[in-house]
Copies of this chain bind each other. A is one copy, B any other.
Amino acid sequence: MSAISRSSDSFQLGVCYYPEHWNESLWEDDFRRMKELGFSIVRVAEFAWTIFEPEDGKFSFDLFDRALDEAHRHGLKVIMGTPTATPPAWLTERYPEALNARQDGVVYRHGQRRHYNYSSPVYRFYCERIVRKMSQHYGNHPAVAGWQIDNELNCETNEFYSDADHIAFRQWVRTKYGTLDKLNEAWGTVFWSQTYTDWQQVYLTRPNPSDSPNPHQLLDEKRFISDNTISFARLQADIIRESAPRQWVTTNGLFGHLDNHAMTSELLDFFSYDSYPQFSAFEDPENTSSLRDRKWSLSLSETRSISAHFCVMEQQSGPGGWVNRMDMPAPRPGQMRLWTYQSIAHGADMLLYFRWRTATMGTEIYWHGINDYHNRPNRRLHEVAQVGEELGRIGNLITGKSFQAQFAILEDYDNSWDAEFDAWVRPLRWKSKESWSKALQERHIPVDIVYMREGTKLEDLLRYPVLVYAHATILTENRAALLDAYVRGGGTLIMGARTGYKDERGQCRMIPFPGFAANWCGITVEDFTLCNPNFPAASAQWTDEDSALPTALFNEVLTVESETAEIMASYTSQYYSGGAALTRNRHGDGWSWYLGSAFTEEAVHGILDRMGTPSPADGWADLPKQVEIAIRGDIVFLLNYSHEPVRLNFLVQVNDLLRSGSLFGNIELEAYGVLVIQR
């Protein structure tokens, strides 16, 4: 049972609120109206360091004491944010060593947010002190339910190049490698005479001609950033645990160069996500392959892989935008409610809108809250009121129930970080992720994301009949053994081009592609090429029928090495016409598919057709493509992302929780409509 469920049986709906932004005369009305909307929880204080510590060492809790007492009087719980994402001017003016810097040495200065580094001892001292003061002060406050550490760690930038970071990195590699010989070997420094002969020569990547640093060093740099970020969060978590032992601890946001899984399992009670599906409004309108706001379902799946039950700390409550960028149109009527249920369907047990009322000043005057500047009723407020009413009725039926999926996408941090810099791999990952998520959505197959981690066990994989690990370029011996056991144990594993040729340092193995995966795939790669507009990816054809399988971005020509392997599709163009493009191998009790390309949507559908992968809707509901299905225990969510009504057909009678009735046969679901069904 998660910390969220422990703290409440009912669904906890709420909002982010900044009492320090508003005239105190508004507070009572604000809290009263929150309560009327069905809210039970409010996040505060995550950017309020100068309120708590207006001068170095001088602390003041008056403003938030009054605000929390008022919230408490209205029966609202409070999440306290630690304010370390926005150090006061007096701090960074006196200690510029606390600031982050660009790789070229330009130091970020006071005037925005997240301009500090995690490494500076002086900044760590000030952070520890403010967190200790706050947690000691509020550790027993009856309104306080829990804590959010910092805000959106590694948002704005996930690169750190201050002097303190260089020093901390040097210490980190020293701890990791022990000797310079081992570091030199890991970074392949014999290439281009990069060999280090003194620890003082070792830095984070630095400016260089052609902007192309050592790739192995860069991979370690990202691992360091993740470790360093976690260590910064740990400072705070440890203090809160000590001072406020009955309150839970989380942090929010899914940003780069951070192993959220490690951070959550080591430090947090649960993970929180900030969900803004309207960022999809910037997508290329010509991209017909896109799922737009449904892609946020994949991010929610990733969040769920961190915490099965999670909090959405910031749920979009209107158009977003900073003054100078990220200028989003308004969500259409129904979309805010749809996205709220999207979060809940994927595992949220607590959800707070961002924010109560649009800021009238600062960078985020266009990041709209539920209430407009004018504070009068508007359509967003009405839509939230509907959600509040509904969850008040049915929230307790949902909370604590687990998301159901028979299909999982494998992911891991090393490959994600390594591919960021790798022009041969990065586009394949993007393409295949898009193809898989779109095809699975359209076939109504719910999907989990599973991270390959140090502690991942065979049973974690065998829970899923099918796994996709599209382009696992880096494949360690341990993980290879695990995957081999998974297939032998009866699983079906699907892999794509560029699998398995790098080791954990990002260096290439001197064995044939796809490295250790050849073992269970039963093939090797005899020839390969990047594809581009001057060298278009070849078309291929299925072996079992006369239909095309388009490939994309990369073409590997496969050689069957095992008697149990069979060619499923072959290229029909380019110089390797006739060569094998897709194979399937019987390995132990399972199956292993290998595609020598990035996955196109057509390829995914073709594979799933042949695997006969079922949808949980099979047999009781006919759903159109526009509708996502998501299941938590006995609760089924049906979400219409289309701007038009769609028709569903229920083959059995089902129980409509929102409208408290039953449904059978042909049903119309309105544009952006939601059905919550109990079976």
Cβ–Cβ contact B210 & A156, under 8 A: yes
Contact flag A373-B329 (CB < 8 Å), given A111-B214, A191-B361, A195-B89: no
The answer to whether B508 and A207 have CB atoms under 8 Å apart is: no
Q: Does A112 contact B (CB under 8 A)?
A: yes
Partner of A361, one of B206, B209, B216, B535: B216
Report whether B530 and A209 are in contact in the complex, using a CB–CB cutoff of 8 Å.
no
- In the docked arrangement, what's the CA distance between A562 and B514, Å? 73
**A324 CB–B CB distance under 8 Å:** yes
Interface 9-residue window, one of A196-204, A446-454, A588-596, A620-628: A196-204
Contact B535 A281, beta carbon cutoff 8 Å: yes
Which partner residue on chain B sits nearest A54 by CB separation? B197
B209 and A156 contact, CB distance less than 8 A: yes
Asked whether, in the complex, the Cβ of A47 is within 8 Å of the Cβ of B191, the reply is yes
Q: Is the Cβ of B196 less than 8 Å from the Cβ of A89?
A: yes
B residues in contact with A528, CB < 8 Å: 330
Q: How many chain copies does the complex carry?
A: 3
**Docked complex Cα distance between A376 and B518 (Å):** 15
Q: How many whole Å from A476's CB to the nearest CB in chain B?
A: 16
Cβ A111 vs Cβ B325 within 8 A: no
* B-binding segment of A3-11, A315-323, A603-611: A315-323
Contact pick for A193, options B48, B329, B363, B511, CB 8 Å: B48
Answer whether residue A642 sits at the interface, using C-beta atoms and an 8 A cutoff. Answer: no
Task: Please choose the segment from A100-108, A248-256, A406-414 that sits at the chain B interface, where 4 or more of its residues have CB less than 8 A away.
Answer: A100-108
Residues of B within 8 A of A526 (CB): 378
CB distance from A388 to the nearest CB of B (A): 21
B376 x A209 contact (CB < 8 A): no
Q: Contact at B509–A373, with CB atoms within 8 Å?
A: yes
Residues of B within 8 A of A505 (CB): 361
Could you say which of B88, B209, B282 contacts A115, with CB atoms under 8 Å apart?
A: B209
Q: Does A194 contact B (CB under 8 A)?
A: yes
A534 adjacent to chain B (CB < 8 Å):
yes
User: Does A618 belong to the interface (CB within 8 Å)?
Assistant: no
A365 within 8 A of B: yes
Q: Identify A327's interface contact among B47, B48, B423, CB under 8 A.
A: B423
Question: Is the pair B324, A111 in contact by a Cβ cutoff of 8 Å?
Answer: no
Decide yes or no whether A364 CB sits under 8 A from chain B. yes
Chain B nearest Cβ from A624, distance in angstroms: 21
Instruction: Tally chain A residues at the interface, Cβ within 8 Å.
Output: 116
Q: A residues 287-303 with Cβ under 8 Å of B?
A: 292
A662 is an interface residue with CB less than 8 A from chain B:
no
With both chains docked as a complex, state the minimum distance between the C-beta of A1 and any C-beta of chain B, in angstroms: 36
Chain B residues within 8 Å of A100, by CB: 209
Interface check A57, CB cutoff 8 A:
no
The digit string for A494-535, where 1 denotes a CB below 8 A from any CB of B, is 000000010001011111110000000000001111111111
Asked if A171 is an interface residue, CB under 8 A from chain B, the answer is no
How far apart sit A111 and B511, CA to CA, in the bound complex (Å)?
Answer: 28
Name the residue on B nearest A359 (C-beta). Answer: B191
Chain B residues, CB < 8 A from A664: none
Q: Are B107 and A360 interface neighbours, CB within 8 A? A: no
User: Given A90-B198, A532-B281, does the pair A206, B109 have CB atoms closer than 8 Å?
Assistant: yes
Distance (whole angstroms) from the CB of A452 to the closest CB of chain B? 22
Contact A110 B201 (CB under 8 A): yes
Most buried by B among A47, A50, A210: A210
Closest chain B residue, CB of each to CB of A509: B373
Contact with B along A149-163 (1 / 0, CB 8 A): 000000011000000
A323 in complex: contacting residue of B322, B421, B501, CB < 8 Å:
B421
Residues of B within 8 A of A358 (CB): 508
In whole angstroms, what is the CA distance A224 to B330 when docked?
A: 35
Docked-complex contact A90 and B197, CB < 8 angstroms: yes
A378 & B527 in contact (Cβ 8 Å cutoff): yes
Residues of chain A from 185 to 227 with CB closer than 8 A to chain B in the complex = 187-198, 200-201, 203, 205-210, 212-217
Shortest Cβ gap from A220 to chain B (Å): 12
Question: CA–CA, A152 to B54, complex, Å?
Answer: 45
Nearest B residue to A425, CB-CB: B323
Q: Please tell me if the beta carbons of A217 and B532 are within 8 angstroms of each other in the complex.
A: no
By the criterion CB–CB under 8 Å, are B93 and A200 in contact?
yes
B192 to A362, Cβ gap below 8 A? yes
A333 within 8 A of B: yes
**Contact residues in B for A513 (Cβ distance below 8 Å):** 374
At the interface, yes or no: A235 with Cβ under 8 Å from chain B? no
Which residue of chain B lies nearest to A102 when distances are taken between CB atoms in the complex?
A: B207
The smallest C-beta distance from A561 to any residue of chain B, in angstroms, reads 13
Q: Return the chain B residue nearest A156 by Cβ.
A: B209
Judged by a CB distance under 8 angstroms, whether A353 is at the interface is: no
A564 part of interface (Cβ distance < 8 Å)? no
| CB nearest to A526 among chain B residues | B378
- Report whether A319 and B191 are in contact in the complex, using a CB–CB cutoff of 8 Å: no
Given A198-B93, A533-B285: A508 in contact with B360 (beta carbons within 8 A): yes
Closest to A529 in B: B330
Residue of chain B at shortest CB distance from A530:
B329
CB-defined interface of A525-553 with B at 8 Å, one 1/0 digit per residue? 01111111111000000000000000000
Q: List 8 A-B contacts (CB under 8 A).
A: A51-B190, A86-B193, A86-B194, A88-B197, A112-B212, A212-B323, A216-B361, A285-B533
Q: Which 5 A-B residue pairs are closest in the complex by CB-CB distance? A: A188-B361, A191-B362, A330-B529, A109-B206, A86-B193
Q: Which positions in A face B, CB cutoff 8 Å?
A: 20-21, 47-51, 54-55, 83, 86-90, 93, 100, 102, 104-115, 156-157, 187-198, 200-201, 203, 205-210, 212-217, 280-283, 285, 292, 319, 321-325, 327-330, 332-333, 358-366, 373-376, 378-379, 421-424, 501, 505, 507-513, 526-535, 575
Besides the known contacts A111-B213, A330-B528, 15 further A-B residue pairs in the complex with CB atoms under 8 A apart:
A50-B195, A100-B209, A110-B203, A112-B214, A191-B364, A215-B324, A215-B362, A216-B362, A285-B534, A323-B421, A323-B423, A330-B535, A332-B575, A373-B511, A374-B513
